[in-house]
Amino acid sequence: MKARLPKGYGGGGAANMQQLARQAQKMQEAMETATEELEAKEYSAASGGGAVKAVVNGKMEIKSLEIDPEVIDPEDAEMLADLVIAATNEALRAANEDKEETMGALSGGINIPGLF
């Protein structure tokens, strides 16, 4: 007794594999383009009411860091360090969220480890 597949399944063989390979290649090209665009983007954030401003790029690299001279207190270096960390982390978080959103839209929400 032969098993029968529902209508629209099977029967395509090589043609279906070629179509799947073309779709995968298109997705890969779109993801490479999106990655290049994301890496070129810059994200900024501030802390301490704008006393510290950090700018990062999509490669998760710090591009610039501005510190208002008024918040530089030699007696309280810890507060300045906290402001720098807060601004930098917020900018990195924005870059990461944009990357996840963009790549998730391209992959249809499929999380493939090592893909991005």
Task: Quick: pLDDT tens for 38-79.
Answer: 999 999 999 999 999 999 999 999 999 999 999 999 999 999
Considering the domain boundaries, does residue 63 fall inside one?
Answer: yes
Query: Does residue 116 form part of some domain?
Result: no
pTM above 0.85, yes or no: no
- Domain of residue 96, CATH code: 3.30.1310.10
Asked if residue 54 lies in contact with residue 87, where contact means CB atoms within 8 angstroms, the answer is yes
For residue 8, tell me if it sits in a domain. no
Give the range of the structural domain holding residue 27, as residue numbers without chain letter. 14-107
Total structural domains within the chain: 1
Domain annotation covers residue 112: no
CA separation, residue 109 to residues 36, 37, 105 (Å)? 20, 19, 6
Confirm whether 6 is domain-assigned. Answer: no
Pair of tokens at residue 16: 């279906």
